[in-house]
Structures are given as structure tokens and as C-alpha cells.
Structure 1
Amino acid sequence: MFQSVITFFEKQSFGVSTYLANTLNMSTTKVRLFFIYSSFLAVGFPILFYLLAAVVLDIRSYVKKVRLKVWDI
């Protein structure tokens, strides 16, 4: 079961750490390590932030796609 969860997240990665790393001009590895370490210290709060950011980024990409389709008409 654990392997199926890992496979799901590898296939369906949200791109949050990549987006934050590019925005902040940092390494993606450092951003991922920040989320991992801060999750242990803050009892899971950064995981909620990560999931919220994933939803927001997904909505942003959907809105961009719809906006492009509207202007193509």
C-alpha cells in the first residue's frame, strides 16, 4: 500500500516545490527539505500549506487554459 502511495505522488506531483524554488531562485531540494523538516517541527501544518498551494496552482493552470481557449475563438 505504501508503495502505491509513493507511485501516485511521483506520477501526479503537484509542482509546488518546483514553483516555489523557481520563484525564490533556490534549489528544489532545499525547498523540499524545508517542507519535510518544518512538518516535523510544526506538527503537519506545512503539509496543509503544501496541499493548499497545489490546489491554487492547479486552479491557476486551469484558468490559463480556459482563458486561452476563449481568445482563440
Structure 2
Amino acid sequence: MKRLQYFIESQAFGVCAMLGEKLGIASSSIRLSFIYISFFTLGSPIILYFIMAFWMNVSKHLRRERSTVWDL
């Protein structure tokens, strides 16, 4: 069950898992509250989710170190 959950999180940008690790809260409760908030606000938190996913992707690429300038 944990492998399936990890696979789904890694394919869905991992925003809830990252927030859970940073805040010390279970990612399942963050995911559930995100779903409830999305229903009550007619989906506007989805924009926030995509912005956070984009930022995580950019920061992952910025942290990657190259050995020389000529490596592409």
C-alpha cells in the first residue's frame, strides 16, 4: 500500500507530501483538507497547487549541480 501511495505522490508532483514533511503533518490529512477546500471554493486552490508544483520543479533543477560549465 505504501509503494502505491509513493508512486501516486511522485507522479502527482508530491506537493502534499512536501508540505507534510515541512509542516510535520500527515500528507493524507493535507490532501483531504485540500480536496474539501477545493469543493467549497469551486476549485481555486488548484491554481495554488500548480504554482507550488512548478516552484518545486524549478527549485529541484536549481539545486542540481554540474561538475563543469561545459556539461549539458
TM-score (norm 2): 0.76
Q: TM-score, normalised by structure 1?
A: 0.75
Distance 2:37 2:16 in 1: 14
* Mapped partners of 2:48, 2:31: distance in 1: 13
Structure 1 unaligned segments of length 5 or more: list them.
Answer: 1-9
Q: How far did residue 12 of structure 1 move? A: 2.4
Give the paired residue count.
Answer: 60
AA paired with 1:53?
A: M
Note if 1:57 corresponds to 2:50: no
Structure with the larger helix share: 1
CA distance in 1 between counterparts of 2:28 and 2:12 reads: 14
Q: Give the CA deviation at 1:59.
A: 0.4
Alpha-carbon distance in 2 for matches of 1:63, 1:56: 10
Query: Where in structure 2 are the equivalents of 1:1-73 lying within 5 Å?
Result: 10=8, 12-65=11-64, 68-69=65-66, 72-73=67-68
- Alignment gaps of 5+ in structure 2: 1-7
Distance 1:18 1:39 in 2: 18
What is the identity percentage for the equivalent residue pairs of Structure 1 and Structure 2? 30
Deviation at 1:45, TM superposition (A): 1.1
